[in-house]
Amino acid sequence: MLNRRFQSILYFSIISLSIYIFLYNQSKHSISKNYTKQADVKPSVFCLIKTHPNNIKINKSLIVYKIWAHKCDNYRFITLIPNNLEPIKKKDVLEVYDQFYMIQPSFMQAESHGNLTLKMYYSMLYVYRSFPSYDWYYISDDDAYVNIKNLKTFLKDKPKYESITYGYNFKIIVKDGYHSGGPGYVLSNGAFMTICKKMDKNINNCPNSGIDDVDISQCIRNYNGKMGQSRDELGRERFLPMGLMDTFTGRNTDWLKGYGEHPPQKGLNCCSDSLIGVHYMNSRDAFRLDLSIETQRNNLKLYDEMFGLSKPITFKNILKNYLLLQDLESDTNDFNFTGNF
Ligand X SMILES: *[C@@H]1O[C@H](CO)[C@@H](O)[C@H](O)[C@H]1NC(C)=O
What are the residues binding ligand X (CB under 6 A)? Answer: 30-31, 34, 58-59, 107, 110, 112, 114-115, 118, 336, 338-339
**With respect to ligand X, which residue has the nearer C-beta, 21 or 23?**
23
What type of residue sits at position 154?
F
The Cα–Cα gap between 152 and 67 comes to: 16
Least spacing, CB of residue 339 vs ligand X, in Å: 3
Least spacing, CB of residue 220 vs ligand X, in Å: 22
Q: Half-sphere exposure (CA, 13 Å, Cβ side) for 19?
A: 6
CB closest to ligand X, residue no: 339
* Residue length of the chain: 341
Least spacing, CB of residue 341 vs ligand X, in Å: 10
Least spacing, CB of residue 63 vs ligand X, in Å: 9
**With respect to ligand X, which residue has the nearer C-beta, 118 or 155?**
118
Least spacing, CB of residue 333 vs ligand X, in Å: 9
Residue 41 has a CB neighbour count (10 Å cut-off) of 11
Least spacing, CB of residue 23 vs ligand X, in Å: 12
**With respect to ligand X, which residue has the nearer C-beta, 34 or 252?**
34
Radius of gyration of the chain (CA): 25
**With respect to ligand X, which residue has the nearer C-beta, 29 or 311?**
29
Residue closest to 78 by CA, chosen among 56, 99, 59, 63? 56
What backbone phi and psi angles, to 5 degrees, belong to 240? -115, 110
**With respect to ligand X, which residue has the nearer C-beta, 84 or 336?**
336
Beta strands in the chain (DSSP E): 45-50, 74-78, 88-89, 93-97, 101-105, 136-141, 145-146, 164-166, 169-170, 178-179, 185-188, 226-227, 239-240, 277-278
The Cα–Cα gap between 229 and 285 comes to: 26
Least spacing, CB of residue 35 vs ligand X, in Å: 9
Helix (H, G, I), strand (E, B) or coil at 326: helix
What type of residue sits at position 165?
T
**With respect to ligand X, which residue has the nearer C-beta, 12 or 341?**
341
**With respect to ligand X, which residue has the nearer C-beta, 103 or 118?**
118
**With respect to ligand X, which residue has the nearer C-beta, 115 or 140?**
115
**Sign of the dihedral through C-alpha 218, 112, 184, 89:** positive
Cα 259 to Cα 180, 229, 302: the distances in Å are 11, 16, 42
Least spacing, CB of residue 62 vs ligand X, in Å: 6
Least spacing, CB of residue 297 vs ligand X, in Å: 27
Cα 224 to Cα 73, 110, 136, 338: the distances in Å are 28, 34, 18, 49
**With respect to ligand X, which residue has the nearer C-beta, 61 or 188?**
61
